[in-house]
Amino acid sequence: MVHVLETGLEFLAHENPNGKPSVQGYNIINGQLTSASDGGTFTSINPAILNDTLGSFPLSTKADVHAALDAAHAAFPGWAATPAPTRGQIIGNMGRLLMDHKDAIVALETREIGKTLKEAAGSVQEAIDTCLFFQSEGRRLYGQTVNSELPDKELFTYRRPLGVCGIINACNFPAAVPFWKMIPAIMCGNTCVWKSPQDAPLLSFALARIMHEAGLPNGVINLVHGKGSGAGQHLVDAVDEGRVNKISFTGSTEVGKMIGEVCGRNLVSCSLELGGKNPLVVMPSADLDNAVEGAYWGAFGTAGQRCTSLGNLIIHEEVYDDFMAKFMAKVESTRIGDSLVHDGVLYGPMLSEKYAKDFLSAVEMCKASGATLAHGRGRISSDNKPANFLSTAEDGVYMWPHVFTDVTEDMECFHEEVFGPAVTICKATDFDHALHLANASPYGLSSAIYTNDRLEAYRYKTGIKAGMTGINNSTTGAEAHLPFGGVKGSGNGTRESGIWVIEAYSYWHAVNDELSGKLQLAQMDVEDVEMAEADVDWTQLA
């Protein structure tokens, strides 16, 4: 085994047939670079250029996951005892190293999952912001002093770490989301086993090495690669074996429910950030040009591969025709291609062939629901491509933007998340109808309304059942100091980001310090306070 820092961040790589570097990747367990115990591997493929292999990575076994858990358990006492300001300083170092390597990480994220360079830069900046925010939280991991009802007694509360946290994140935000999870986790004194996304192992490998270069002790964060059904399932199964004290998961609602059941029967905390069918309402008072921009980006940014992407676009009937004319003009002009080659593209390829297959199935579901296909022709090919498609279709996994109209709330496509470049569009007769439609899906992650009527904005933000709401803004967007998460089918009420996430990675410890030298019992030994009796006939004062 080789220590994670011995070869630095300069990966020893050979050239693949495309002339681009291809890396031999490893798990990182207790600070050591390790292969899968049975030698199994899988590859990471550039979805924009399918013959571009980024590297080979361990297909981790149960033994590998358990070795990572052993390392995390061994590191926990020492890390939990490390002063919180010191933990914060290491986290600050991570942020500064991310800034130093930002351009390279952004290019790597774009190559590995097909994001545009601008979006990848936003994802990496979110990781940087998270580090810088939580660096100072190391000096604000506050408890309280509480007044006792008895004399000569002091009461205190302290935040305590949970233990070993299992971290499982999706590949669409492979820099931002794991930092959302692990930075507050280690700030609170926990240790982690991180199962990287199957479609972003190289970026995860690079980020884990940066964490160690920042001064993170061995075993505090352990990285294992592999499939969700393999290494990911082994990590969840370890909850039943009493080896995991917390699971934090970002992904599908179906998988999230399974994880919630496992954690629930073991009384183990879980954070579940799941899917969405996010509504955006356009009212007659809205600035239509602004609303079109927000809806267009919400629906098709990141090729629609965000949990906060626009799902149901709800347009008031008074402005429906005007809005749709502007919106469809934008859709028809969409620039699609490889951001590493072409400037100004709105979105690139799907994250992988698997996501492409699932998206095409969802498109068929929308058709079968009875919705009208107003734009879109499935997968882009050389003889089936939009006017502004800029790349070579057969090289990658590219999709048309899809627009479905005449959607009603009794249709399956109204309720089901479509993870890809597609939007379903409904008409609303008035504000109350629009709010009803916005709340009618089983999800409750993000939401938005475009209106210049302040009462409508107020009624929407107080009436919507969602974790996040944009007013004259898109359904997408997050900041490192604002809570992120949903309700209903979108999550279990926990939040990522900001000071609120600390609640998810710590528990409150109440301490009762008896200074009197004798046993004093709350509620029983409290002296009664005698009330004075006034010489007044209160009945005569009326």
Q: Which residues of the chain have pLDDT under 50?
A: 12-15, 17
- The superfamily (CATH) of domain 278-479 is Aldehyde Dehydrogenase; Chain A, domain 2 (3.40.309.10)
Catalytic residue among 307, 366, 413, 426: 307
- Judging by beta carbons within 10 Å of its beta carbon (0-12, 13-18, 19+), is residue 158 exposed, middle or buried? middle
What pLDDT is attached to residue 540?
79
CA–CA dist 460, 473 (Å, integer): 13
What pLDDT is attached to residue 527?
85
The dihedral built from the CA positions of residue 140, 93, 178 and 195, taken in this order, carries a sign that is negative
What pLDDT is attached to residue 295?
98
What pLDDT is attached to residue 535?
81
For 28-44, letters b (16+ CB in 10 Å) and e give bbbbbbbbbbeeeebeb
CA 371 to chain centre: 30
* C-alpha R_g of the chain: 26
Q: For 294-344, give the DSSP string.
A: HHHHHHHGGGG-STTSEEEEEEETTTHHHHHHHHHHHHHT--BS-TTT-SS
CA–CA dist 428, 434 (Å, integer): 5
Residue 295 has a CB neighbour count (10 Å cut-off) of 26
Q: Is-same-fold flag (28-34+63-274+496-505; 278-479)?
A: no
Pairing mode, if any, of strands 2-3 and 32-34?
antiparallel
What pLDDT is attached to residue 6?
66
Where helices occur in 316-453 by DSSP H, the ranges are 320-332, 353-369, 412-415, 431-439
Q: Which amino acid is at 66?
A: H
Q: Which amino acid is at 379?
A: R
CA–CA dist 525, 527 (Å, integer): 6
- 120 φ, ψ (degrees, to nearest 5): -60, -40
Between CA 474 and CA 360, with CA 302 as vertex, the angle to 5 degrees is 110
Residues near 218 by beta carbon (within 8 Å), at least 6 away in sequence: 30, 31, 32, 71, 75, 212
What pLDDT is attached to residue 274?
96
Our answer to whether residue 131 is catalytic in this structure is no
- The superfamily (CATH) of domain 28-34+63-274+496-505 is Aldehyde Dehydrogenase; Chain A, domain 1 (3.40.605.10)
- 518 φ, ψ (degrees, to nearest 5): -145, 165
What pLDDT is attached to residue 314?
98
> 12-50 pLDDT, tens per residue?
344 454 567 789 999 999 999 999 999 999 999 999 999
> 52-89 pLDDT, tens per residue?
999 999 999 999 999 999 999 999 999 999 999 999 99
Q: What is the dihedral of CA 160, 164, 166, 172, to 10 degrees?
A: 60
CA–CA dist 271, 496 (Å, integer): 8
Residue-range domain boundaries for the chain = 28-34+63-274+496-505, 278-479
Instruction: Tell me how many helices (H) and strands (E) the chain has.
Output: 14, 24
- Judging by beta carbons within 10 Å of its beta carbon (0-12, 13-18, 19+), is residue 513 exposed, middle or buried? exposed
* pTM of this structure: 0.94
What pLDDT is attached to residue 270?
97
